[in-house]
Amino acid sequence: MRYLIGIGNYTGFDDSIGLRVAEVVGEAGLDVGFRAIDLGGNILDLLHYIGEDAEQVLIVDSARMGLEPGAHAFFAPDAVETRKELAGFSSHEGDLVKVLEFAAALGGPLAPITILGIEPDEIRAEVGLSATLERRMDEYVAAAVAFFGESQA
Partner 1 sequence: MQRNVNIDVHHLTRVEGHGNIVVNVTDGVIEKCEWQVPEAPRFFEAMVRGRHYTEVARITSRICGICSVGHTLASVKATEAALGIEVTPQTKKLRTLLKHAENFDSHVLHVYVLVAPDLLGAQSAFALVPTHGEVVARALRLKRLGHEWGSLIGGRTTHPTTVVPGGFSKLPTVAELKALREKIVAAVPDLTATLETVAALAPAIPAFDRPTEYMAVSSDDEYGMYDGYVQTILSDGDRAKYAVADYRSCTNEYVAPQSTAKFCRNRLDSYAAGALARFNVNYDQLHPEAKKVAESLGMQPICTNPYMNSVAQVVEVVHSAYEGLRLLDELIAEGIKDEGLVAPTKYATGASAVEVPRGILFHEYTYDADGFCTGADCIIPTGQNHANIQRDFDALLPGLLASEKSEDEMRLAFEMLVRAYDPCISCSTHYVDVTFVR
Q: Could you list the residues that contact partner 1 (CB under 8 A)?
A: 7-12, 14-15, 37-45, 47-48, 61-66, 75, 78-84, 86-98, 101-102, 105-107, 115, 117, 120, 123, 125, 127
94 vs 148, which CB is nearer to partner 1?
A: 94
Amino acid letter, residue 70: G
Least distance to partner 1 from the beta carbon of 102, Å? 5
Residues 6+ apart with CB under 8 A from 133: 14, 17, 69, 70, 118, 120, 121, 140
In which region does residue 45 sit, left (phi positive, over 0), alpha (psi from -120 to 50) or beta (all else)? alpha
32 vs 127, which CB is nearer to partner 1?
A: 127
Least distance to partner 1 from the beta carbon of 80, Å? 4
29 vs 66, which CB is nearer to partner 1?
A: 66
- Annotate 6-54 with three-state secondary structure: ECCCCCEEHHHHHHHHHHHHHHCCCCCCCEEEECCCCHHHHHHCCCCCC
Amino acid letter, residue 15: D
15 vs 31, which CB is nearer to partner 1?
A: 15
Least distance to partner 1 from the beta carbon of 146, Å? 21
Least distance to partner 1 from the beta carbon of 111, Å? 15
